[in-house]
Structure 1
């Protein structure tokens, strides 16, 4: 009997030892493979760190007015991102949508930092900034009556904002824009009043840089992004004329806008 009890005791010990080994292996496997939500959080944190670094560097390259405008822009971007990703206001959600949008924003600010105008050249942009305030337009009977408009309501040496419209007699859209001066060009980001497939975000969320305008004598040349935005390639779209209050843009009779 004593020998049998010893054998049973050994069997129980072996069973307990095997159970402990299995439990330990399970713990090690769980530690080696992070949960999906942990991986999503890590991906978001990496892009958020990129964004914070780019934002800080860009902010430091601006004057006080530019930094204030950038802060307001960032708040609007966060609100627009959360809205498009279905995130309740005031909450932080780290998922594929917010990670992707944060990555795009980090890329945009990094690109803007590379092209940022030094503070020493801000004075040179001041005259251009104040001179474009007002209404600008293009009008043609061609292409179903194409027309385009920019209404610059406020402009300084570093930034500008206003309204835009673009379309024909049968379709079109309108909304608001925000712009940033860089080396004599006003780079524009747009939002639209109405949602369109493949169009700009609905206000108050703004697109990435999609165009720029630059003074061309007494006119304003409008260039649009041509190809992937990351490549920074633009092609001329139309040339805008100043529109007097209550008036209309001159008719572009050749239908080519000088191109």
Structure 2
């Protein structure tokens, strides 16, 4: 009887040791499998993407961006990481972008070149005329003034023909207000906004002599023309000594 109990005890101990060994073996195999899977997976890189759709000419803000992990072997050299974003915030987009699209520097307009065409009103062209102190009205002409341009052309019969373009807007005056001398400023020219329907005819006369007449603004109706004011006269009594 004692011998039989002894063999039963030995068998139970063997089964327990076998179970413990199998548990350790399973744990080892699981950890080793996980480690090898991690080694097999490619390294990832955190890439900045758009968290929402952003429209053309909209400034880049941090709220419109997010970070997404990509396998490193799939990452383009042009894609940006979070460390690259700081200097780019505030710059405007060249075109519309979709949500989830990776950000690249080529999508953004450089600070030092916003593009002249982006600054022009729709259906207008910017045309620059040679300048002079007379055309600039001795420095009184300003950006935003409404002007009429009268071109003069000498005819074969000696007559002087005129061509008038009315209500044009002064778009730029070069650097006349930036501390340059008058002769340099005059050489920069006067840039006007010309409607699209007039640009062909305007270009035909562009190199002719011209006069530039400044129009009164809408505010002018609320202001009286300046007149010198004489001091009030007062009659004083006088008596001789």
TM-score normalised per structure 1: 0.29
Give the structure with higher Rg (CA): 2
- Which of the two has greater helix per residue? 1
TM-score normalised per structure 2: 0.31
